[in-house]
Amino acid sequence: MMSWLYATLLAVWLMMVIYVLKKIKRIYEKGETLPTNVVVAVWAVYILHFVLILWASLGGFWEVPINTTVALIGGVVFAAVGFTIMLLGVLEFRSFKRMSGVDTSKLVTTGIYRYSRNPQNLGLLLVFLGISIAGRSLLALLLTAVFAHC
């Protein structure tokens, strides 16, 4: 059963997502770069999303009847591949400002960016999917699907 604390964090996360998406849309429509407060909010959304998926997986929220061994092996493989892709993307940026959307002066087209326009999000999606599968949690899988959609 889901705790009241989890439900509260889920509601806070949802409100933060709505805030961030609206702010980013307005900022990009003006052709501006992201201000620090929005960058911090984006990072907070990512971190809270990760916490919610991890908590749902560890807590077995809405457990999916998958063989435990198969789920663990599959989950670890997805998470490892995702982490590798994400790390390659982060390393290719060579700048926290560029990675966070504050410095948009140069389009990165080398390394893993030759194959994917956004390897950090692809990698994070695979990490989320791996955690969700390993935890056999339908709620975690739904939160992963929300990440894939945004």
Q: Is 15 exposed, middle or buried (0-12, 13-18, 19+ CB in 10 A)?
A: exposed
Domain limits for position 128: 4-149
Query: Which one-letter amino acid corresponds to residue 68?
Result: T
Six token digits for residue 123: 């990698």
Domain tally, the chain: 1
Q: Is 86 exposed, middle or buried (0-12, 13-18, 19+ CB in 10 A)?
A: buried
C-alpha–C-alpha distance, residues 136 and 94, integer Å: 36
Let me know: does 107 contact 52? Beta carbons within 8 Å.
no
pLDDT of residue 1: 57
pLDDT of residue 24: 93
| Mean pLDDT in order along the chain per 10 residues (150 residues) | 87 96 94 89 96 95 94 98 94 78 78 90 97 97 93
pTM, two decimal places: 0.88
pLDDT of residue 150: 74
